[in-house]
Amino acid sequence: MMMNECPPPMVQFEVERMALDDRIITIGAIETATRTVVVDYMDNRNAIEDHFWSFGEATLVNNSNATRRIRYRQIIPVPEYHWVDVSNDSRACFDYDNNNIVLTFECEVAAGTESVVSWDFDFPVSMAGDINLDGYVDSADLGLLLSAWGEPGTEDINRSGSVDSEDLGILVAQWKPPPK
């Protein structure tokens, strides 16, 4: 899913989150007159470095007397100026405006029945300033940034619309050359 195809906001519900080392366990449920959604999943949202992973399931229950399309959307915040490559999965998009991974699941559920959707994702994450995506922020990235000065594009680290001194500041603050 492209970033402009991220779905609009949906009904939000309370979940319980528990930290276990660098993992977060999430459990939650919501019930309305027409549907019930129960979720149980784990992810590394508190320790995102070079990849983000999540696995779990959502049980979608149709409480109505007609077949319905039921959707579940999960939003995971990502550290500022980090980007997640979700291009390999149609159920995911990256919301650049809010720096979130958005996972969306939907299915047709017959009246009075349930459907379980499960997932197991592992997406690469690039850090701020790693313009050429080689895992480092170094002189190669600096060269790309300077060659795009004043222009829009992937070198615009903070997504302000053009490459400028703020992008240069972010790149320098994230400087991480390869080991010698």
* CB atoms closer than 10 angstroms to residue 135: 13
The residue ranking higher by pLDDT, 116 or 97, is: 116
pTM: 0.72
Domain boundaries, the chain: 3-126, 129-180
Classify residue 64 by burial, with Cβ atoms within 10 Å: 0-12, 13-18, 19+.
Answer: middle
Strand partners, 55: 42, 120
For residue 106, is pLDDT > 90? no
pLDDT at site 3: 42
Give dist(CA 48, CA 77) in Å, integer. Answer: 10
Contact 37, 11 (CB under 8 A): no
CA distances to 72, 102, 148, 151 from 10, in Å? 8, 12, 38, 35
* Span 32-87, pLDDT tens digits: 999 999 999 999 988 887 788 999 999 999 999 999 999 888 888 887 777 787 87
State the CATH class of domain 129-180.
mainly alpha
Average pLDDT value over all residues in the chain: 87
Nearest to 61 by CA among 103, 104, 137, 117: 117
